[in-house]
Amino acid sequence: MGKKRRILVRFTPPQILALGILAIILIGSVLLSLPAASSTGEPISYLDAFFMSTSAACVTGLSVLNAGVHFSLFGQIVILMLVQVGGLGFMTMATLIALVLRKRITLKERLLLQEAMNQGSVEGIVRLIRKVLTYALAIELAGAVLLAVRWAFDMPLGQAVYFGVFHSISIFNNAGFDLFSSLPGAQGSLMAYVNDAYVNIVVIGLMILGGIGFIVIADLLDFKRTRKLTLHSKVVLTATGLLILLGSVVVFIFEYTNPLTMQPLSLPGKIFAAFFQSATTRSTGMNTIDIESFRQATQFFVIILMFIGAAPGSAGGGIKITTFAILLGAVITMVRGKEDIVFFRKRLPEERIYKATTLTLASLILVVTGTMILSVLQDGPFIKMLFEVTSAFGTAGISLGLTPELTSPSKVLMAILMFVGRLGPLTLAYALTPKGTKELYRYPEGKITIG
């Protein structure tokens, strides 16, 4: 035990997080390649199993095989467990086991949790993890009950309960896997419920709660006692509301007259569809109308929303909504001729601005490079390539139909993008590079003309 602990100490928190996610993916791939995981009893190829395991553990939802058609009950449960562990984070689940066994959480483990939850310090980190587990299980249980009650009208009670549990966990953890393709005459995802107000409200609620992050949920539940919100929560809630509203308006306007998507719907149906697609593009992967039939302008706007992603501390991917808010704040500050980025009467430190800029540029380079490589490996329209790559990086899980047609090299590329997107480009960079030392001197300042 002591030897294992000494080996663990040699790795930095980012390295342990990367290795932990990779270990989960490999275990899941072995389980999904078993004959028992296949609906036909014939084992699926290891590459397909690896892709599906990566997609589930990275809570993406992109699928080369249909979870409801090609996998048995055992296979579906494996996917669900991968989604749950991937959504909450393997360190969170490890902490749960330690708490159940009444084991002490060491400083090294607290540093890992700090890295996993994107926190600034280890203070109160175990208390936050307890809240994360409690809130996640409570929200998933509530979502499962609400969905099962509705679906009990459409299918046998046992199946409705199973569907409720599976989809509640999948949606809250921003995974996007669904089982509806297994039903006779089903359209896939939630397209059959595009006009159903009840299902729309419950699912949108789960998507938003899963996308704002556990830190914000904890802050909101403590508001009655503290009577205040942190700056992080204020920025996340404001930016989330504005982006969902903006996305809804854009989808509503662009798709209103599209006969393949929203034109046949009633006005309430159009409004629900617009809000649903705006919320889901931020990382969930469900859809109530055919995104492949969207106009190209709408598809490109969806790419932007997927690139932005959800909030830090959530299961969602992308550059994160706070990063986007900081970049937007920097532009506004520069245009106004000010020096400091100020949100809610709080000045942001320069280090946050540098990190946001670095993360965005690294993510943009990754998406552009991934799109270029995929366009070499795969045939198809460029918009599909860009869409699929951004969906993989942003762990959004929405597809324009290209993923099931991927060649073997393309599957490997997309799996890498999903892994990097879930871990985060900066975390991966910290994991791959040696620990830096503080410089003892500074060079003289120089000036470069910009613009």
Give the pLDDT mean for 179-197.
83
- Contacts of residue 278, Cβ cutoff 8 Å, sequence gap at least 6: 243, 244, 245, 246, 247, 248, 250, 251, 305
Q: Can you give the pTM of this predicted structure?
A: 0.88
Instruction: Taking residues 141-157, report their average pLDDT.
Output: 94
* Domain definitions of the chain by residue range: 8-430
Mean pLDDT of the chain: 85
Task: Write the pLDDT tens digit of every residue in 84-136.
Answer: 988 876 556 555 555 555 556 555 556 555 555 555 555 566 676 777 788 88
| DSSP at 44 | P
Task: Label residue 349 by pLDDT band (50, 70, 90).
Answer: confident
Query: pLDDT tens across 11-57, in order?
Result: 666 777 778 889 899 999 999 999 999 999 899 999 999 999 999 99
Name every residue whose Cβ is closer than 8 Å to that of residue 50 and which is 6 or more positions away in sequence: 25, 29, 411, 415
Query: Does 148 score more than 70 pLDDT?
Result: yes
- Look at residue 312 and give its three-state secondary structure: coil
Tokens coding 231:
């700056």
**How much is the pLDDT for 275?**
94
pLDDT score for 7: 47
Of 255, 253, 243, which is closest to residue 304 (Cα–Cα)?
A: 243
* Of 58-67, 156-165, 225-234, highest mean pLDDT: 156-165
Give the residue carrying structure tokens 């699912």: 203
Which pair of tokens denotes residue 31? 């389980």
